[in-house]
Structure 1
């Protein structure tokens, strides 16, 4: 830990507002909000081991929203997706899964899919590429499943076109390969396609959704799909230790997200695109350009130590945190950050925030 690291942490703590992500909240505020939501939503009963109460209500509402027969709530997306892939692979009699090599399951799950489920991942795409029908057809036949991340977060939340998506779906059905979607940010992707969520979900055999990112819940995830597959998935939820005695606090937070934040996804994406345009005008680079969702990468031509010095100074002066952490890229002298626009961003002028970013870059 360097002196500059300590200075940055102190500056962040002293900020009274931030631009990316959600507003800062204390645990007591969150719990009080959940109590109010129970009254507003008429949640009078607890679930018991994920049955009844807010959990059953959430699963019912989600299945209807996504146009699928059933949904299964999980406390963790990691557990949800590994369990779903296990179901598909056991049905197909093989543990081979076609997957993008930037997928969350490969990058951020500590090799859990292989160690826990013996899943054998094979590359569907390499690097910052969207999955296509051609890529799926080029794989060795006999896959247990294929997984597509929408959007591909580690590529700047990159999305395929609607045509590419429908062609991929048709190819999977032609090949008899169950097609699963990592839809952790599918809510934020819907404005890109400008189609109902049910129409998007209809292209896939199963889809995972998250409730703690754009939806703002404390935790929680779910998978939607056909009834028989979801029945098998519930068994794996129990086997994986996910059938907790009480899941209502997480489910109530998810219901609030569906009610309050889902209708605002278009606003978040519009703000992000306006902000990206201002950043480009200020001399920074964004990827994708324009953004496909409310999340994208920002690149600044500046050595990291100098940028961090300016970052600390700006926060100390303005008491505003304009971005998350920055890190060095493979290109010498170029740094990057991931920016995500939610409620916090909507309270700021995109041009003003872009000016702060230009200051960070030393422009």
Structure 2
């Protein structure tokens, strides 16, 4: 009920071979140009209503390239982002070490950026980054009004707004606006292919033609223009075709599951904004994980592992609802998980 079910390399590549037949992929890309890569980029351009898109081997590289281009154009290395941003928490300080970026905290903790937060940061800025959703805060999202107001504030100030959209597919149901409408709020948007879409790897950067052209230069400089990425591109196209239509159902399942949990299990956010969220409870992680492992073996249902929370005596876990969970009853699955935390 949480995470992607395992699949062997042989099965995965066999499915990709069939997808090449189904999608009409009969030529290789060369250094990220042509073939399935061009098909993928053209799909994204139409889907998001942008001028251009470029495939990147990783989101880490795509976002650093975007911020570097924005900062070079603005003539300042100062960028603003949440202190829980993926770039700061999970990337070994790459933006500062590689690009000498000066990072200002737009928000701290479990809070999404707003225009009011931007107002509190004086001086020039090369870019503002908003993570949709803020993963380390339980995939927290702003309201559509808050996002629109932040976009307007950035444009009035002459600052580029960049969207970290690794989970933009899962965020779209919350906003109840199209992907193109979401992307129109920003100057650049990054999307991922291996999370909600279940692809092999890879990402894309979307925006104006000149911005994407400059980002391609940084992709080359950073060693990201590899000889063949056809497999990754085909997997992404399959994800857009097969997995994207199921995302709203996984969000609804997550919300039903969370609503069925007992009060002893705290959900962050209280009503999940996406199909991914945090859970907190009292207890010892080793004991709870022993009961979880026993429940997995007995019920043949994948449940997430728990680890110590910052608060003494509390534990936490992260739930990622994928299409694999849609055959399960959310209320019954909530009862199963609750029993591992607080057995009768």
TM-score tier (shorter): over 0.9
Corresponding residue number in structure 1 for 2:61: 79
Deviation at 1:23, TM superposition (A): 1.9
List alignment gaps of at least 5 residues for structure 1. Answer: 1-18
Corresponding residue number in structure 1 for 2:121: 139
Q: Of 297, 300, 303, which residue of structure 1 is paired with 2:284?
A: 303
Cα separation, 1, equivalents of 2:132 and 2:262: 25
SS in 2 for 1:320: coil
SS in 1 for 2:252: helix
Q: Of 322, 330, 333, which residue of structure 2 is paired with 1:350?
A: 330
Q: Does 1:106 align with 2:88?
A: yes
SS in 2 for 1:23: coil
Corresponding residue number in structure 2 for 1:241: 223
Q: Of 336, 341, 344, which residue of structure 2 is paired with 1:361?
A: 341
For residues 171-214 of structure 1, what are the alpha-carbon distances to aligned partners after superposition, in whole Å with 9 as ceiling and x for unaligned?
00000000001000000000001111100110000000000000
SS in 1 for 2:261: helix
Stretches (4+) displaced over 6 A: none
Corresponding residue number in structure 1 for 2:241: 259
Q: Of 13, 16, 20, which residue of structure 1 is paired with 2:2?
A: 20
Corresponding residue number in structure 2 for 1:65: 47
Q: Does 1:49 align with 2:27?
A: no
Please tell me whether the aligned partners of residues 280 and 286 of structure 1 are also in contact (alpha carbons under 8 angstroms).
no
The residue correspondences of 1:148-163 to structure 2 (distance < 5 A) are 148-163=130-145
Cα separation, 1, equivalents of 2:301 and 2:252: 22
Q: Does 1:198 align with 2:188?
A: no
Q: Does 1:330 align with 2:310?
A: yes
Please tell me whether the aligned partners of residues 262 and 338 of structure 2 are also in contact (alpha carbons under 8 angstroms).
no
Cα separation, 1, equivalents of 2:48 and 2:243: 16
For residues 239-293 of structure 1, what are the alpha-carbon distances to aligned partners after superposition, in whole Å with 9 as ceiling and x for unaligned?
1111111111101011111111111111010000010011146x42111111000
List alignment gaps of at least 5 residues for structure 2. Answer: none
Please tell me whether the aligned partners of residues 63 and 69 of structure 1 are also in contact (alpha carbons under 8 angstroms).
yes
Cα separation, 2, equivalents of 1:278 and 1:352: 8
CA RMSD of superposed structures (Å): 1.0
Please tell me whether the aligned partners of residues 322 and 356 of structure 1 are also in contact (alpha carbons under 8 angstroms).
no
Deviation at 1:126, TM superposition (A): 0.6
What TM-score does the superposition give when structure 1 sets the normalisation length?
A: 0.93
What TM-score does the superposition give when structure 2 sets the normalisation length?
A: 0.98
Cα separation, 2, equivalents of 1:237 and 1:280: 48
Corresponding residue number in structure 2 for 1:278: 260
Cα separation, 2, equivalents of 1:130 and 1:184: 16
Cα separation, 1, equivalents of 2:272 and 2:298: 30
Cα separation, 2, equivalents of 1:193 and 1:94: 32
SS in 2 for 1:219: coil
Deviation at 1:334, TM superposition (A): 1.4
Please tell me whether the aligned partners of residues 304 and 333 of structure 1 are also in contact (alpha carbons under 8 angstroms).
no
Please tell me whether the aligned partners of residues 302 and 334 of structure 1 are also in contact (alpha carbons under 8 angstroms).
yes
For residues 287-309 of structure 1, what are the alpha-carbon distances to aligned partners after superposition, in whole Å with 9 as ceiling and x for unaligned?
11110000011112212222122
Corresponding residue number in structure 2 for 1:129: 111
Structure 1 residues 192, 158: closer, same or farther in 2, change over 3 A? same
